[in-house]
Structure 1
Amino acid sequence: MAVPKKRTSASKKRIRKNSWKGKGYGTALKAFSLGKSLSTGNSKSFFVPKNSLKVFKRIIKNWNNLNRLGSKN
């Protein structure tokens, strides 16, 4: 007869959840950093046409505005 597994403790569940979220945060941070370097023209490893830099700068500006609004709450 099948027996249910033991329940995972809340702390173990929290640790796994935070680890999973941390990986996503790290990836997002790298992507943002790359976008920022592309927008400022400091990137050494990517070739970006000049007209697309305007789009990157607008994205960076919006991101900074969102962060500013989020820190006030």
Structure 2
Amino acid sequence: MAVPKKKTSNSKRDSRRAHWNRKANLAAQRALSTGKSILTGRAKGFEYPTKDDDEDDDE
């Protein structure tokens, strides 16, 4: 016979939510940092094609 689940405690729920928020904030911070480095031209870790580069390849 089906048995109802026990209610999750508020502290457990809050802990899970805080962990999820922490991960989301870290991802947002990294994305913002990457965007800033691209805009300032200091990005060294990856190739970022620009419109000028695409036009030079045709010649």
Q: Deviations over 1:22-60 (max 9, x none)?
A: 111111111100000001100012324277xxxxxxxxx
Question: Which runs of 4 or more aligned residues in structure 1 lie more than 3 Å from their structure 2 counterparts after TM superposition?
Answer: none
Query: Higher helix fraction: Structure 1 or Structure 2?
Result: 1
Relative contact order (alpha carbons < 8 A, sep ≥ 6): 1 or 2 greater? 1
In the alignment, what sits opposite 2:37?
A: 37
Q: TM-score, normalised by structure 2?
A: 0.74
- 8 Å CA contact 1:37–1:43 kept in 2: the answer is yes
Task: Give the AA of the match of 1:46.
Answer: E
Identity %: 45
* 3-state SS of 2:2 partner: coil
What are structure 1's unaligned runs of at least 5 residues?
A: 52-73
* Residue segments in structure 2 that go unaligned for 5+ positions in a row: 53-59
Q: Which has the larger radius of gyration?
A: 2
Q: CA RMSD in A?
A: 1.6
Counterpart CA distance in 2 for 1:2 and 1:26 is 40
